[in-house]
Amino acid sequence: MKKFIIRTIIGGAIVLCCAIALDVVITRGLKQIDDFIYEPWTYIQEGNHQHDVVILGNSRAQGHIHPMILDSICGCNSYNLGIEAYHMNMHLLKYDYYLQYNPKPKLIVYQVDLATIHRHPIKRGSNSEQFLPLFYESYWRERFVDLGYNQWDLYCPLYRYFGYHTAIRQGIMEGLGLTHFCINPAYKGFKGWDKIMEDRGVPDDQLKIDMSNRFTEDIKDLVAFENFINKCKSEGINIVLVYSPIYETVEKQLTDRDIFNEYMTNISKQYDIVYLDYTKDVELRSNKIYYSSPGHMNLLGAEVFTTKLAHDIDSIGFLKK
Amino acid sequence: MLFNSFEFAIFLPIVFLLYWFVFDYAISKCKRQLLWQNLFVVVASYIFYGWWDWRFLILIAITTLLSFLSGIGIEYAPTQRGKKAVMIANIIINLGILGIYKYYDFFATQFARLFGIEADFLLLHLILPVGISFYTFQALSYSIDVYRKQLAPTHDIVAFTAFLSFFPQLVAGPIERATNLLPQFQKKRTFDYATAVDGMRQILWGLFKKIVVADNCATYVDTVFADISNQSGSTLLLAAILFTFQIYGDFSGYSDIAIGTAKLFGIKLMRNFNVPYFSRDIAEFWRRWHISLTTWFRDYVYIPLGGSRPNIPEAIRQKGDKALEARYTKWIAVRNTFVIFLLSGFWHGANWTFVLWGAYHALLFVPLLLLNKNRRYRDTVATITLPDGTIKTKWLPSLKEAGQMLLTFALAVFGWIIFRAQDISQIGEVLSTICSDSLLSIPWLMNRDYYIPTIMAIILLLAVEWRSRNYSHGFGFLNRSNQFVRIVTYLMVLFCIFAFGGHAENFIYFQF
């Protein structure tokens, strides 16, 4: 019995040491990868980036608002903090995390839509591997429990990596210096889509979007949103709320669109902030060639849209003060 | 509590240490040491089961109490008729509980459909208690064995409760016989280093089969079967093949973990799988697949029904016609075969697909039975028995053996399509798509970070099981390896479990 227990403990200790070492290698490796999943977080951590404009929102922020165009038209330095497949809670966390390392911007362009104020799971959600290298940071440790991760994820080496085959492979190879991954890198946080919806050949009447009945009735989310606006106002940061275009056939299907628009219009009046609704822009909404999917514009669409947006922001004059 | 969860990784060492140090060593001079140790097994087992849903502990307790009392009832009943009545009452009550929870809604729906009435008000919508089919059958085996005088009834309710609720095999078997397991709770267990180490190896191999093989296959299979109408024939065929490995990795992995865990506590459970995909015909497959259930049906249904050697009725015997007697014997054997396969299918769940799956296997089995070829392959494939009785394994099977194994495997794959389908119409849809032109198209594959590990894991599974087909489990051959090989193997397997493990899935057989 004694022999069995001693050997089991020694074996367990060896496994634990290997797990800790591997965790460090993978985490370090993932932070070195140049792609749109991990690189934006590493960039934020580098710190001291002085951006005049930061763009917040979900995939429709990340893939619709191109910082290069915004910079060239407005003469500013912008960065896209958009995060695909996540809702407002994560948008604000990412922005808050950005402020831990970087000075505050002059202007926030917040892309809002029906999916913005709508809760959905974080743990093992879409692209959730981007959070894996962040678990060593106390900032995230405190918050990840609220986001659905458990104590095992936080304190057990390697546990959080379980099932993420690609992240493990890439992390080991990059961490051991065997290769350098540079796949689909983002440009200043921007990551667009190059597909054209028309090429899919789906008739208009069959196009669908998973954004109906999304406007939350959870008062907590609305309060958090308004608290954020208040905080920005008190810190002298301007906010522009932007509702970027949706392909017209499916935009009409959105059952909550009127409630959402009314809410955003009221917010803009109440807090004296600008709300730009591009869902009514005929050129942007009706040109199928601008879309990669009904809710997402492709690179061409993003270019046209960002140009319009940049001119509108420029004309408001926030960045000239 | 799942075997592949971190809760279990904490639970097991705690229970192990308390079991041997507190309830064995520390109180070794206590007269009631065995009682306390068994009581501890019961408490641990109830915590293990209650972790899922404590309310269903009441059902296990009822089954335990009824079966325990039935044993005493059979002992004290003055007449044979009385003994039989007690046994039958116990069977009816236990099967009644099982029937209500597992089959009532199914029969109510069929009844409503038959008479064209609304089914909703007839349905109970009960949650199926995990493992109810397993522990119910275990409980039945006790009272039947006591009635048959194959086992003396126990008066020790603690040992009996430990027998029926022993946590490693409580929720998904092996379905133990009282004759094997109960006596082990009635005598002092001693710790054996070699057995415990072997148990740890079996647990490791079981985890590999479950987490790397089954869970990875499940990712593909679940995606494909969730949207059958949009899949090509080749994709569906690949999904069926992967499901064949998924269900094996899942269930035999569970059994390995259960048997290995039991070994840590000095308890020997029966083998449940014996390399079934290396079978040369379907009869051999059924001697190697879910052995504890197959032998249960053989011992408690097939043989009592007459098996393959029924009593010839007087009317036939008087005729003195041997050919007629042989025909009668065959007919009874065929009938009994159908009965146990249909029951075995229905045991898996209240769905016609399971019944059809049972019937399909019966149809494959019956020709072998009629030709007296169902017992052809009682040895392990590609082995030679030397004159001194030792068995030597060959590296590779002969061409004939390989062909037979491949054919049996293909037949099993076909059966698993029936088993996996949600309903009868889905079986037709899957089969018609597989038999269409799209079978020749390139199947859809997931991200290469999933399909490469899955294929590698299946190859490794087959290679290891082939290497150890004469051992009690996949890592049995490590007993003869040197320490370096063993340590490297352990670390590599642990790495595979971590790096290539699929998302944690429930064990398939929990639903049965």
CB spacing of A161 vs B447 below 8 angstroms: no
Q: Is the CB of residue A243 less than 8 Å from the CB of residue A276?
A: yes
Q: Collapsing DSSP states into helix, strand and coil, what is residue A274?
A: strand
- Summarised one tens digit per residue, pLDDT across range B321-361 is 888 888 899 999 999 999 999 999 999 988 999 999 999 99
Interface-testing mutation among A16, A162, A202, with chain B (most B C-beta atoms within 10 A): A162
Helix axes B80-98, B57-76, angle to 10 degrees: 170
Q: Tokens 């039947």 — which residue?
A: B144
Cβ–Cβ contact A17 with B under 8 A: no
What sections of chain A are H helices per DSSP?
2-32, 39-46, 59-62, 67-74, 88-101, 138-144, 151-155, 165-175, 219-234, 248-251, 257-271, 282-286, 299-316
Q: Tokens 């007459």 — which residue?
A: B306
- Chain A environment of B501 (Cβ under 8 Å): 162-163
CB spacing of B502 vs A19 below 8 angstroms: no
| Dist. CA B37–CA B102, nearest whole Å | 33
- Chain A environment of B498 (Cβ under 8 Å): 19, 22, 158, 161-162, 168
Cβ–Cβ contact B196 with A under 8 A: yes
Cross-chain CB nearest to B449 (options A3, A158, A165) = A165
| Dist. CA A86–CA A148, nearest whole Å | 14
| Dist. CA B292–CA B141, nearest whole Å | 11
Q: Collapsing DSSP states into helix, strand and coil, what is residue A4?
A: helix
One-letter identity of residue B42? V
State how beta strands A296-297 and A291-293 pair: antiparallel
Cβ–Cβ contact A15 with B under 8 A: yes
Q: Determine the distance in angstroms separating the CA of A224 from the nearest CA of chain B, rounded to an integer.
A: 33
pLDDT at B451 over 80: yes
CB spacing of A166 vs B447 below 8 angstroms: yes
Active site residues of B: 348
Cross-chain CB nearest to B449 (options A158, A166, A172) = A166
pLDDT of residue A276: 93
Q: Which of residues 171-190 of A touch B (CB under 8 A)?
A: 172
Least confident segment among B172-176, B239-243, B266-270:
B172-176
- Summarised one tens digit per residue, pLDDT across range A35-65 is 888 999 999 998 888 899 999 998 899 999 9
Q: Which residue has the higher pLDDT, A121 or B66?
A: B66
pLDDT band of B123, cuts 50, 70, 90: confident
CB spacing of B6 vs A152 below 8 angstroms: yes
Average pLDDT over residues B87-115: 92
- As given in the structure block, the two tokens for residue B164 are 């029926």
Q: DSSP states of A88-107 as a string?
A: HHHHHHHHHHHHHHSPPPSE
Q: Which residue has the higher pLDDT, A201 or B99?
A: B99
| Dist. CA B449–CA A172, nearest whole Å | 14
| Dist. CA A190–CA A61, nearest whole Å | 8
Q: DSSP states of B393-432 as a string?
A: E-SS--HHHHHHHHHHHHHHHHHHHHHH-SSHHHHHHHHH
Residue A293's DSSP bridge partners are: A296
Burial letters B109-133, b for 16+ CB under 10 A, else e: eeebeeeeeeeeeeeeeeebbbbbb
CATH dotted code for A2-121+133-320: 3.40.50.1110
Q: Which residue has the higher pLDDT, A13 or B119?
A: A13
Cβ–Cβ contact A282 with B under 8 A: no
- As given in the structure block, the two tokens for residue B221 are 């299979």
- As given in the structure block, the two tokens for residue B108 are 């109510």
pLDDT of residue B291: 96
Q: Is the CB of residue B68 less than 8 Å from the CB of residue B155?
A: no
pLDDT of residue A123: 60
Average pLDDT, chain B: 91
**Beta-carbon contacts below 8 Å between A and B:** 43
Q: Collapsing DSSP states into helix, strand and coil, what is residue B379?
A: coil
Cβ–Cβ contact A163 with B under 8 A: yes
- Chain A environment of B499 (Cβ under 8 Å): 165, 168-169, 172
Average pLDDT over residues A4-18: 91
pLDDT band of A199, cuts 50, 70, 90: low
| Dist. CA A78–CA B41, nearest whole Å | 64
pLDDT of residue B336: 94
CB spacing of A156 vs B6 below 8 angstroms: yes
Q: Determine the distance in angstroms separating the CA of B1 from the nearest CA of chain A, rounded to an integer.
A: 16
pLDDT at B81 over 90: yes
* Domain boundary assignment for chain B: 6-189, 194-271+379-511
Phi, psi of A108 (to 5 degrees): -115, 125
Q: Is the CB of residue B154 less than 8 Å from the CB of residue B182?
A: yes
Share of chain B above pLDDT 70, in %: 98
- Chain B environment of A176 (Cβ under 8 Å): none
- Summarised one tens digit per residue, pLDDT across range B313-332 is 888 888 888 888 888 999 99
- Chain A environment of B500 (Cβ under 8 Å): 165
Q: Which residue has the higher pLDDT, A197 or A119?
A: A197
- Chain A environment of B214 (Cβ under 8 Å): none
Least confident segment among A37-46, A230-239, B387-396, B456-465:
B387-396
Q: Determine the distance in angstroms separating the CA of A164 from the nearest CA of chain B, rounded to an integer.
A: 8
* Class of residue B200 by CB neighbours under 10 A (exposed 0-12, middle 13-18, buried 19+): buried
| Dist. CA B236–CA B228, nearest whole Å | 8
Share of chain A above pLDDT 70, in %: 90
| Dist. CA B453–CA B465, nearest whole Å | 18
Average pLDDT over residues A141-155: 83
Interface-testing mutation among B5, B19, B449, with chain A (most A C-beta atoms within 10 A): B449
Average pLDDT, chain A: 87
| Dist. CA B255–CA A134, nearest whole Å | 38
Comparing C-alpha atoms, which of B64, B52, B55 is closest to residue B94? B64
pLDDT of residue B142: 96
Both ends of chain B: CA-CA distance in Å? 16
- Chain B environment of A156 (Cβ under 8 Å): 6
Average pLDDT over residues B73-77: 95
Cβ–Cβ contact A92 with B under 8 A: no
pLDDT at B508 over 80: no
pLDDT of residue B276: 96
Average pLDDT over residues A80-85: 90
Phi, psi of A212 (to 5 degrees): -75, 160
- As given in the structure block, the two tokens for residue A166 are 């690609």
